[in-house]
Amino acid sequence: MLVKTFTSYFMEHVKLHIPGPVEVSKKTFRAFCEPMIGHRGQGFKDLYAKVQPQLQALLYTKRLVYLGTSSAWGVMEGAVRNLVSKKVLCCMCGAFSDKWLDVSQRCGKQAEALQVDWGSPIRAEAIDAKLATGQFDALTFIHNETSTGVMSPLAEVAVLKRKYPDVMFIVDAVSSMTGVKLEFDALGIDVLLAGTQKAFALPPGLTVFACSDSALAKSATVSDRGYYFDLNEFEKNAEGNMTPSTPSIGHIHALASKLEDIFAEGLDARFERHASLAQLTRDWAVGHGFNLFPETGYESQTLTCVNNGAKPGGRVIDVAKLQKLVKDRGFLIDGGYGKIKGTTFRISSMGDETEATMRQLYAALDDAMKGL
């Protein structure tokens, strides 16, 4: 019988360069496997108390940062259930942001689309015009639309909060948190959330999020907000270094390990590393004759969405064949998402990647391109 060791498993597996889940390090997995502890005991409270100030530094906030056991959609849906009583404006520019309209409606909320073409960002002026109607008490906004590789101008949008203080600004930073600087308190938004399988480079199943005082106050007035994602339950429990229900404790050990890495590197260095690796990937694509899918100036800093016929211009290849050839060389890239599957492809450079590891991927891609 063949017994694989932890190390040989890591040497043999196909390395992930899809935009989530991303590659998880051995160090992180080892931390995940710490012996189990009770979630109401002092050991757990100490663990949460250790990560809390680091999470606050990461998000540039004095608010308590919450840990939810679910993938991001749990908290995305929860935010809508907690904070929408009139009507929610769903800012839509790709598969994830588009889906939030449907999710809001399935939660029984009145919802309206602010749709732009995939590849374009959401601009503050468009949101301003909608909010000026006075119909809305919340909006959903995705900072980094992972399906199109577009990063929308969050800071400009967040400025609108001052003009519309009663509107709840719910922001998904799933594929940008830890890769791009997000200053929660300075932005003045109401909810900021991310799942851990993207730029955190942890396994999927945990969501890190923060919310404003006014979000807590608003949530307290909404009677059908449920329990599992009740923001006030998260606040009350976080005050005692606990979570409302039994969390994925392994994830929190892994998070503690990852936060060690993040602060050893330094936040600014981490943000710069992400920016420069995304630039290297764009250079690789353009160097091979491709165009980029995002509108110029709005490219993601954590992943690259390469145009492959979704819009005019640039080279077009057989994406499925490229994926197979790259996989034979040990790497998994993404073949495009939703309605732009095959007419785009995506390469993730988020998490633990370095220039050296990205160069290994580009070498495999270069080699694979010769076989097309």
Ligand X SMILES: *Cc1c(COP(=O)(O)O)cnc(C)c1O
Closest distance of CB 68 from ligand X, Å: 11
Closest distance of CB 90 from ligand X, Å: 13
| 201 closest CA partner among 6, 65, 330, 21 | 21
280 or 303: CB nearest ligand X: 303
- 63 CB-near residues (< 8 Å, 6+ apart): 56, 184, 185, 210, 211, 212, 213
Which two tokens mark 45? 């409270």
172 or 242: CB nearest ligand X: 172
- 281 CB-near residues (< 8 Å, 6+ apart): 304, 347, 349, 358, 362
93 or 325: CB nearest ligand X: 93
- 264 CB-near residues (< 8 Å, 6+ apart): none
292 or 325: CB nearest ligand X: 292
The letter for the amino acid at 177 is M
Closest distance of CB 127 from ligand X, Å: 18
175 or 237: CB nearest ligand X: 175
Closest distance of CB 20 from ligand X, Å: 5
72 or 325: CB nearest ligand X: 72
Give the strand pairing for 303-307 and 344-348.
antiparallel
Closest distance of CB 195 from ligand X, Å: 4
Alpha-carbon distance of 226 to 219, in angstroms, equals 10
Encode burial over 37-46: b for 16+ CB neighbours within 10 A, e otherwise: bebeeeebee
Closest distance of CB 323 from ligand X, Å: 19
- 60 CB-near residues (< 8 Å, 6+ apart): 181, 182, 183, 184, 185, 186
DSSP H helices, the chain, are 6-12, 26-32, 42-58, 72-83, 95-106, 124-131, 154-158, 160-163, 184-187, 213-220, 231-239, 249-265, 267-287, 319-328, 355-370
207 or 216: CB nearest ligand X: 207
Closest distance of CB 316 from ligand X, Å: 25
**Nearest 5°: phi and psi at 144?**
-125, 100
Interacting residues toward ligand X by CB under 6 A: 20, 71-73, 96, 142, 146, 172, 174-175, 195, 198, 204
Closest distance of CB 69 from ligand X, Å: 12
Cβ proximity of 93 and 150 under 8 Å: yes
Cβ proximity of 33 and 250 under 8 Å: yes
44 or 98: CB nearest ligand X: 98
